[in-house]
Amino acid sequence: MPKKLDVIDLKILEELKNNSRISFNEISQKIDKTEATVRRRVKKLVEDGIIKHFTIEYENNIPPHISATIKIEPDFKDIKRILKELKAIDEISNIWRLSGDCGLIMKVDISSIENFNPLIEEKISQIQGIKIIETCFITDIIK
């Protein structure tokens, strides 16, 4: 037979429903009971299965973050123009010039995987004098 809740239990549940992180002391002040009473009643509500779990609601306004590296082979006779155009692309966060025949490596940051091909096709590939050699998605940052 389910436990019958009294007015005090209902007030405690209402406070916890509004803010599951509220302290027992704050609840006690709001419902005009001692902290020990609130603590004991919450414990009993949990034991009786009335309170199933404490949870939170949140907004996730932070877009997903995906990073990749793109290795390109630039035409070095036009390197100043190429670098200027690459720097103007917002999604490119880093550009490194490498020694020897390694060319350039860029790190790009995008909000979703769906944005990768348009970045390549509509922005990076449109720059005259570059050849994309390799792209790699960053799956884990070790250090």
For residue 75, pLDDT beyond 60: yes
Question: What confidence score (pLDDT) does residue 61 get?
Answer: 66
Residue 27 phi/psi, 5-degree rounding, is: -60, -45
Report pTM. 0.56
pLDDT in tens, 105-114: 999 999 888 9
- Contact indicator for 67, 132 with CB cutoff of 8 Å: no
Output the CA torsion sign for 119, 123, 125, 130: negative
Q: Kindly state the percentage of the chain with pLDDT values over 70.
A: 94
**Average pLDDT over all residues of the chain:** 91
Tally: H helices and E strands in the chain: 5, 4
What is the CA angle 71-76-79, rounded to 5?
80
What is the rounded CA–CA span in Å between residue 16 and residue 22?
Answer: 7
Task: For each of the domains in the chain, give its residue range(s) and CATH number, in order of start.
Answer: 7-47 (1.10.10.10), 66-137 (3.30.70.920)
